[in-house]
Amino acid sequence: MAGTALVLVHGRSQQMPASAGGGAAEEAAFVAKKRQSWLAGLAKGLTLAGLPPVDCSAVWFPYYGNRFADAVEARERSGLPRPDLGAQLEPGVGQRPPSADALILDSALLLGFTPEREALPTDDGTGDPELDDAWRSYVDDGLDAVDFGSVLRSRLLRAALQYLARKTGASQLVIERFFTDVAYYLDVPQIRRLVLDIVVADVRRAAAEHDRVVLLTHSLGTVVGYDLFDSIRNTVDVPLFITAGCPLGLPVVQRSLLPPSKASGKRPGPSVDGVAVPWLNAYDVRDFVALASPLAGFYTAPLQEERTFNASDPHSIQDYLADPDVARPIGRVLAGKRPW
């Protein structure tokens, strides 16, 4: 079938609730509802942009939510520790990326966190020199260089989480769970491969039925989407890559992307046959996942960036897609035109 397919790559926390049942029919209905919520947001954005809705027969929604959640739960039930993002690096490849804790600390750093700003004072009101010293060591040399015990580490993380929650409006639990899942994906090869295999299979099926494939990604799915290019190599024509609510600007994420890179400085953007893929990045400044946006300072890519205001939730994919400036390039490419 000629034309352009649209592949939607979702993020974490998309598993079915226990009350939904576990049969194939229940899962199909659950996935169809998720897919429709994306398309509803996109339809609104396309209407505001003066463009027709997408052809639903050309839309793919690779679903890995249940299997990702099951894999994480099985790992935790077995008593294995939280991911350590340095464990799988080949010697000499890049820097040692830190754990999920450093994803939290790096995000807080982007918003200007220092321990004294998230009051943890001593009895005499002079602050906490021990905590201040630990934070300075982290900023200068990274988590591995900080010599502190579990209690001090817990206090520093609690302060950083409180600061992030206060600045972004997201709950501490949501923030911690998101970064933990990102760490599981980036660090545990079996989980990463599980997710990639599911998404790559649908991308290849979409490519087999159409001439080209637009990749529209959200949240953790933006990291999966970037990694996809290493898996599909030059076998799929991708005229547009869209990221929304994206953590790809965080240094610890960049260092863990595929393929591994020894180079410092900016990372290349995705490419096909050596030609850079046009990249649209949408971000709401209140979205804690997208704190390191805009991305232009981190990647060598033809990046178009759109700042949105998501009325219902800063991280909402429906709100991102309802923005006509985000929807318009998608609609143009699906119609066989250039994105901008």
Tell me the two tokens of residue 278: 């046009």
User: What burial class does residue 3 get, using C-beta atoms within 10 Å of its C-beta: 0-12 exposed, 13-18 middle, 19+ buried?
Assistant: middle
Q: What angle do CA 245, 48, 286 make, to 5 degrees?
A: 25
Task: Tell me the DSSP string of 93-116.
Answer: SS-----HHHHHHHHHHHTT--GG
pLDDT at 92: 36
Total residues belonging to the chain: 340
Which is it for the CA torsion 162, 168, 172, 175, positive or negative? negative
Whole-model pTM?
Answer: 0.89
User: What burial class does residue 255 get, using C-beta atoms within 10 Å of its C-beta: 0-12 exposed, 13-18 middle, 19+ buried?
Assistant: buried
Nearest-angstrom CA–CA distance, 98 and 101: 7
pLDDT at 264: 73
Nearest-angstrom CA–CA distance, 277 and 265: 20
Q: Which helix (DSSP H) or strand (DSSP E) does residue 276 occupy?
A: strand 275-276
Nearest partner of 194 among 227, 155, 158, judged by Cα: 227
Distance, CA of 76 to chain centre: 22
Domain range list for the chain: 4-69+188-334, 100-185
pLDDT at 142: 65
The CATH fold of domain 4-69+188-334: Rossmann fold (3.40.50)
Nearest-angstrom CA–CA distance, 28 and 36: 12
Tell me the two tokens of residue 198: 């599911």
pLDDT at 94: 39
Beta bridge partners of 307: 283
Cβ within 8 Å of residue 264, ≥6 positions away: none
Q: Where are the beta strands (DSSP E) in 45-96?
A: 59-60
Nearest-angstrom CA–CA distance, 238 and 73: 34
Q: Which helix (DSSP H) or strand (DSSP E) does residue 29 occupy?
A: helix 24-48
**pLDDT truncated to tens, each residue of the chain (340 aa)?**
689 999 999 999 999 987 666 688 999 999 999 999 999 999 999 999 999 999 999 999 999 999 999 999 999 999 887 775 443 333 333 344 346 787 888 888 888 888 876 655 444 445 577 777 778 777 776 665 565 566 677 788 888 899 999 989 999 999 999 999 999 999 899 999 999 999 999 999 999 999 999 999 999 999 999 999 999 988 999 999 999 999 999 988 998 999 987 777 889 999 999 899 999 999 999 999 999 999 998 998 889 999 999 999 999 999 999 999 999 999 999 999 999 9
